[in-house]
Amino acid sequence: MARAMIVMSSDQVKENQASTPVSPASNKPLILASGSRYRREMIERLQVPVLAIAPGIDESRTAGESPRALSIRLARQKAAHVARQYPDHWVLGSDQVAMLGDEALGKPGNIERARQQLGACSGSTVEFQTAMCLLGPTKRLEHLDTTRVRFRALSPTSIEDYLSRESALDCAGSFKSEGFGITLTEAIESEDPSALIGLPLIALAGWLRSIGLMVS
């Protein structure tokens, strides 16, 4: 069955709540198409039943692809891949891309790469594009949050101190805002502070109310 696509901003979430019919999929756990423990823990804050399934897709950026396009494409692909296994559930895919100028900042994976990333971010603004795609039996909802983080000037000592205190090797750009990473910043601009951690929970909560997975 073809799925209708609805692209929503934060301002449109509330309006959508009154118009989205509750489907039989609302009686089943939300499927999170992700192996990220951070995203699973974030959904658990909303106190809804959730089952996390790693999608196992290729997340490489294509030539000339913008951060916005990349994050939306990967969120869609993650949700679609897992939805094939759970066609009668609501499936949530999400992806976050950090950009410093034209350079994509992925997860560092090791200390040396983390040092390099944070050194490059020193005194600069990094843009985090966080996309969500909620796929149901007959509908697709999408949301994109843009968060801008302005880093203070970071000395080698500041970087070493941060990396000794915080486990951030699995975070985009080596930046873990919910922990000691907040001390690396001068300012953060965002409509939803939870988006920087990995999921825009304000928009997601609105979706879950509209489809009957949350009551209040």
Q: Which residue numbers are catalytic?
A: 95
CB proximity list for 105: less than 8 A, separation 6 or greater: 98, 99, 117, 120, 121, 126, 172, 173, 174
Tell me how crowded residue 147 is: count the other CB atoms within 10 A of its CB: 23
Structure tokens at 130: 């966080």
64: DSSP letter? T
The whole-angstrom separation of Cα 184 and Cα 149 is 10
Structure tokens at 188: 């953060």
The whole-angstrom separation of Cα 73 and Cα 93 is 10
DSSP string, 176-210: -TTTGGGGGEEEEE-S-GGGGGT--HHHHHHHHHH
**Amino acid letter at 66?**
S
Question: Would you report the helix, strand and coil content of the chain in percent, each value rounded to 5?
Answer: 40, 25, 40
The values of phi and psi at residue 136, to 5°, are: -115, 180
